[in-house]
């Protein structure tokens, strides 16, 4: 799992349950350093999606297999900017998505994204 950041606690980056691959929330950690390098919300969202993509690739999938995203952000005013990033990385039919504003995220990042993907086992 070299392309996947290490979990920050006693949990897995993802789990497979039959044909479902469920990721933990991915913050914008660079997998090589396990540190946050992206500073803008757009760059952070890109890194989150890159991390999710790496997880799905481990299970022979891609972002096209995602059926649901949950996006956590520290400021809901970033919703449009994150939408732009996602529109550039996803194709129709788009997955379902929830967006939630919360007061704080690990390592003081601005965005965290988790995914549920359907990938035939």
Question: What pLDDT score was predicted for residue 4?
Answer: 87
Contact 98, 70 (CB under 8 A): yes
The answer to whether residue 81 is domain-embedded is yes
59 occurs within a structural domain: yes
Backbone phi and psi for residue 68, each to the nearest 5 degrees, phi listed first:
-155, 130
Residue 56: give the domain boundaries: 14-118
| β-sheet bridge partners, residue 92 | none
pLDDT band at 28 (very low <50, low <70, confident <90, very high): very high
Tokens of 19: 């044909």
What integer is the mean pLDDT of 27-36?
94
Instruction: Give the tens place of pLDDT for each residue, 56-110.
Output: 999 999 999 999 999 999 999 999 999 999 999 999 999 999 999 999 999 999 9
**Cα gap 32→3, rounded to integer Å:** 7
Average pLDDT, whole number, for the chain?
Answer: 96
| Residue 1 pLDDT exceeds 70 | no
For residue 59, the domain's CATH number is: 3.30.1330.40
Contacts of 104 (CB under 8 A, 6+ apart): 74
Domain presence at residue 8: no
In the structure encoding, which two tokens stand for residue 60, read together?
Answer: 């022979």
> Does 3 reside within a domain?
no
């Amino acid at each position: 799992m070299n392309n996947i950041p290490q979990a920050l606690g006693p949990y897995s980056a993802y789990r497979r349950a039959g044909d479902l691959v469920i990721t933990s929330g991915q913050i914008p950690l660079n997998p090589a350093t396990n540190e946050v390098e992206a500073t803008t919300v757009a760059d952070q969202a890109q890194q989150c999606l890159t991390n999710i993509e790496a997880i799905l690739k481990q299970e022979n999938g891609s972002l096209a297999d995602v059926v649901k995203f949950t996006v956590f952000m520290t400021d809901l005013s970033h919703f449009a900017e994150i939408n732009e990033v996602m529109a550039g990385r996803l194709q129709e039919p788009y997955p379902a998505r929830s967006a939630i504003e919360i007061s704080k995220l690990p390592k003081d990042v601005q965005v965290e994204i988790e995914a549920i993907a359907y990938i035939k086992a």
